[in-house]
Amino acid sequence: MGWIRIAQRSTTPPGTITVHEVGGRRIALCNVNGRFYAIDDVCTHDGGPLDQGVLEGNLVECPRHGAKFDVESGRAVVLPAVRPVRTYPVEVEGDDVKVSVE
């Protein structure tokens, strides 16, 4: 599938999350101080939508039960989640933000 353009830098300002449909998956694009990270938009604890949670630094909190994930590594860092979320490579070219979901 290769690199897929999913957004422009300006559509996901620092400290925010936007969600994009890519290859049948919901991908949460997170802007951490100008650096972009892409993760599955699904909490591994109960399937909650992570894009509706709070992004503080590099941690996103699930709005349902407070599980937190590191958007850089996908690692679950706060219970009740114990399994990581899947991460995807991100590439920025000019104003285009691209992900690879292979």
What's the pLDDT tens digit per position in 59-100? Answer: 999 999 999 999 999 999 999 999 999 999 999 999 999 999
Question: Please, is 72 exposed, middle or buried when counting C-beta atoms within 10 Å of its C-beta (0-12, 13-18, 19+)?
Answer: middle
Query: Which CATH number is 3-100's, of 3.40.50.2300, 2.30.40.10, 2.102.10.10, 3.40.80.10?
Result: 2.102.10.10
**Domain limits of the chain?**
3-100
What's the pLDDT tens digit per position in 44-56? Answer: 999 999 999 999 9
Q: Which residues of 30-68 are buried (b: 16+ CB within 10 A; e: fewer)?
A: bbbeeebbbbbbbbbbeebbbbebebeebbbbbebeebb
